[in-house]
Copies of this chain bind each other. A is one copy, B any other.
Amino acid sequence: MKLASLRNGTRDGRLVVVSRDLTRALDATYVAATMRAAIDDWAVAEPGLRALAATLEDGSADGAFAFDPSQALAPLPRSHQFVDASAFLNHGDIMERAYDLAIKKTPGMCILVPRQGDDFRGPRDDYEFPTAEDQCDFEGEFAVITDDVPMGATPKEALTHVKLVTILNDVSMRKHLFREISLGFGLVMAKPATIFAPVAVTPDELGEAWHDGRVLLDMQVHRNGEPFGHPNGRGMDWSFGELLAQLAYNRRLGAGMVLGSGTVSDRDYRNVGSACLAERRALEKLDSGESVTPFMQYGESLQFEVFGLDGQSVFGAIDTRLVPATPANA
């Protein structure tokens, strides 16, 4: 099942079921008015939503309409908990080598980064930021959305609470990153609003590509329509279940929590490239002593998409143009 939230003038949009091929949608508001309502009460909402999805696939749906991703908000437009992991150690290793960082990791524990869920962006919204001097970068990531996860959940138990999977672009302002890491209290200016794919899908939509709490698919990244990288999710060093369990050590995770994987990073980076500029720049520095790939400028655009084992786009494409922040669009 694939779900999206379409613009309707409200903060949370209206919930629709989307066809597997992403061409058609069906209003789902009589089952759950919003994705928030659905995930708050997933066990009640899921059967009705799946019934709608079935009618959309078999052609019996009444009132289906063309799905327009430019009308999509983030699948869950706001969340009360958003945490971004750094679960691809390959990425951190490259960064540490290139910049002589000595990140004081705790053995066995993944880096988890508390973030904010009040301003998730839709896949085709222009993305405004105050100055290109902040060294605008992107990070292509897999993400999951859960229902309630109890305190102390095991990885296996936590994984059963993963109800939806999607992708995101974790926009990053590199100028502020090392300063905020060395300060030590978390990432604020380095990590403004996050951009989501048009659609979130139940794990079964991934088929065998959803394995051991990981998405075994390529993250296709394009910059201005040109291929940039396509690292695979199989190299994730912690599963989403393990990450959720670490997070739930002394807290309950409320329904609708969004957990990002961290930038997808592939040990075969020589052949497949990276899902963020920082990693490519770090590899350039390691190879030649100098980073040459420039950070993002206003007017550039970024595309992220993942294709399933059947060759179809799973989540739809993120396609974002970067623009200056002005009073009008802030």
Which residues in A have some Cβ–Cβ distance to B below 8 Å? Answer: 11, 40, 78-81, 83, 86, 103-106, 111-119, 128-130, 134, 150-152, 173, 179-189, 192-193, 247, 249-257, 325, 327, 330
Tell me, rounded to whole Å, the shortest Cβ–Cβ distance linking A85 to chain B.
Answer: 10
Known contacts A128-B151, A130-B152: A114-B187 contact under CB 8 Å: yes
Query: Which of B249, B256, B330 meets A252, CB within 8 Å?
Result: B330
- Residues of chain B lying within 8 A (CB to CB) of residue A183: 103-106, 111, 184
Chain B minimum-CB-distance residue to A153: B330
Cβ–Cβ contact A330 & B152, under 8 A: yes
Cβ–Cβ contact A134 & B186, under 8 A: no
Interface centre among A111, A114, A179 (most CB of B within 10 A): A114
Tell me, rounded to whole Å, the shortest Cβ–Cβ distance linking A2 to chain B.
Answer: 24
Tell me, rounded to whole Å, the shortest Cβ–Cβ distance linking A245 to chain B.
Answer: 12
- Residues of chain B lying within 8 A (CB to CB) of residue A116: 80-81, 83, 114, 251
Chain B minimum-CB-distance residue to A120: B80
- Residues of chain B lying within 8 A (CB to CB) of residue A129: 250
Query: Which of B106, B130, B151, B250 meets A249, CB within 8 Å?
Result: B130
Query: Which of B81, B130, B185 meets A86, CB within 8 Å?
Result: B185
Excluding A116-B251, A118-B252, A151-B330, 18 further A-B contacts by CB distance (< 8 Å) are A80-B116, A104-B179, A104-B182, A104-B184, A111-B185, A112-B186, A114-B187, A117-B117, A118-B254, A118-B256, A118-B257, A119-B251, A119-B254, A130-B249, A150-B330, A152-B330, A185-B187, A193-B252
- Chain copies in the assembled complex: 2
Known contacts A114-B116, A152-B325: A134-B250 contact under CB 8 Å: yes
Pairs A–B under 8 Å by Cβ, sample size 26: A11-B254, A81-B116, A86-B185, A104-B182, A111-B185, A112-B185, A112-B188, A113-B185, A113-B186, A118-B253, A118-B254, A118-B256, A119-B252, A130-B250, A134-B250, A150-B327, A150-B330, A152-B327, A152-B330, A173-B250, A180-B184, A181-B185, A185-B186, A186-B186, A193-B251, A252-B330
A318 to B252, CA, bound (A): 20
- Residues of chain B lying within 8 A (CB to CB) of residue A114: 114-116, 186-188
A149 to B129, CA, bound (A): 15
Tell me, rounded to whole Å, the shortest Cβ–Cβ distance linking A262 to chain B.
Answer: 11
Cβ–Cβ contact A188 & B257, under 8 A: no
Tell me, rounded to whole Å, the shortest Cβ–Cβ distance linking A191 to chain B.
Answer: 8
Known contacts A83-B116, A250-B129: A151-B11 contact under CB 8 Å: no
Chain B minimum-CB-distance residue to A117: B80
- Residues of chain B lying within 8 A (CB to CB) of residue A40: 11
- Residues of chain B lying within 8 A (CB to CB) of residue A117: 80-81, 117
- Residues of chain B lying within 8 A (CB to CB) of residue A189: 249-250
